[in-house]
Amino acid sequence: MRTHDIRDLTILGGGPTGLFALFYAGMRGATAQVIDALPELGGQLTALYPEKYIFDVAGFPRVLAKDLVRNLTDQVAQFHQEAGIPAHLGQRVVALEEADGHFVLVTETDRFPTRAVIIAAGIGAFRARRLPQAGAAPWYGRGIQELVAHPDSYRDQDVVIIGGGDSAFDWCAQLRHRARSVTLVHRSDRFRAHAATVAEVQGAAAAGDGRVTVLTFHELDEVHGDERVTGIRVRDTKTKQTRDLPADVVLPMLGYVSDLGTLLAWGLDIEKDEIRVSSTMETGRPGIYAAGDITTYPGKLKLIAAGFSEAAIAVNQAVHWIYPEKKVAPGHSSNLAIFGQKDD
């Protein structure tokens, strides 16, 4: 187990709420870090709808979810120019301990000591939904990949993508210039993806050079291989006929399942799988605050805008709780010395 240096604040969850909390911690001069189970920052925006426009974030007439995440990380980065954003990704928090006057958030491999905790865990830790076919299970890690690696690692490979949503089409569009072939297998002809990306992939398939194939009304039947996957058999869901496809890599893009894990047993005020918070984002356990979709209170809105406000409240309260001499109210950013501004 690796034990990290203690931080003032550790933010559980790197969705929009957690990212804004990380920015706010920087603005308040607190040391902070984010832990997230996903390999990328952005929470639901990155995992579920990166290519969708959002219309109700203040100041943006419309913004693509992935662009909002990029702006949030840019906002955080101004405090971490040399060291990079303090984010520990691909780490699921499985326990909370308390000893010697501080907390420790524990993942499967690491321990993160912290003076206060902000839980911004949204709807829980995401995990890629696995292929339902029993025969697929032994091939995970041997050609079937749960997480997509760097696009260049698929150069000159035969890639099969299973699914019909945004991720399936986005990766098909990205990998078609690198892989030897990309085949998208989907069990119907209805797609849940951005129309422009669907059109791009279908256009590439229509070009007929064999690099992109879209197989609708097909599903995985069997996986073939020795040490690693070498091909798969797919079945036409209407005619029941099968055909074999070469495959070095299979990427199931079937969405995510989320799991609140042990969090509900941490001695917090819980109401129907959500954390009941006070108007100061307190959770019922001193030093632990919550913000964003994971919280509930009368009038709660599960919106990005609400998560931003709650993140600011939680961080300001936490900073004051750790350092009582520091005020709760942060002052106006437009006047703060940390941004090179002077009081007017």
Ligand X SMILES: Cc1cc2nc3c(=O)[nH]c(=O)nc-3n(C[C@H](O)[C@H](O)[C@H](O)COP(=O)(O)OP(=O)(O)OC[C@H]3O[C@@H](n4cnc5c(N)ncnc54)[C@H](O)[C@@H]3O)c2cc1C
CA distances (Å), origin 243, targets 197, 214, 233: 26, 14, 6
Token pair, residue 325, equals 């001499």
Stretch binding ligand X (CB under 6 A), from 118-126, 155-163, 244-252, 331-339 = 118-126
Stretch binding ligand X (CB under 6 A), from 32-40, 135-143, 227-235, 314-322 = 32-40
- 45 to 74, contacts with ligand X by CB under 6 A? 45, 48-49, 54, 56
**Minimum CB–partner distance for residue 25 and ligand X (Å):** 15
User: How, if at all, do strands 125-128 and 110-119 pair?
Assistant: unpaired
Token pair, residue 304, equals 């990005």
**Contact between 124 and ligand X per CB under 6 A:** yes
Instruction: State which of residues 9, 25, 32, 38 lies at the interface with ligand X (CB under 6 A).
Output: 38
**Contact between 35 and ligand X per CB under 6 A:** yes
**Contact between 86 and ligand X per CB under 6 A:** no
Token pair, residue 286, equals 């001193």
**Contact between 275 and ligand X per CB under 6 A:** no
Q: Determine the Cα–Cα distance for residues 74 and 324; give it in Å rounded to an integer.
A: 30
One-character DSSP codes across 291-333: -GGGEE-TT---SHHHHHHHHHHHHHHHHHHH-TTS-SS---G
**Contact between 92 and ligand X per CB under 6 A:** yes
Instruction: State which of residues 302, 309, 320, 326 lies at the interface with ligand X (CB under 6 A).
Output: 302
Binding mask 1-30 for ligand X (x = CB under 6 A): -----------xxxxxxx------------
**Contact between 307 and ligand X per CB under 6 A:** yes
Nearer of residues 60 and 217 to ligand X, judged by Cβ: 60
Which ranges constitute the DSSP H helices of 188-252? 195-206
**Contact between 184 and ligand X per CB under 6 A:** no
CA distances (Å), origin 332, targets 73, 163, 269, 305: 21, 47, 32, 19
3: left (phi over 0), alpha (psi -120 to 50) or beta: beta
Residues near ligand X (CB under 6 A) are 12-18, 35-38, 43-45, 48-49, 54, 56, 92-93, 120-126, 261, 292-293, 302-305, 307
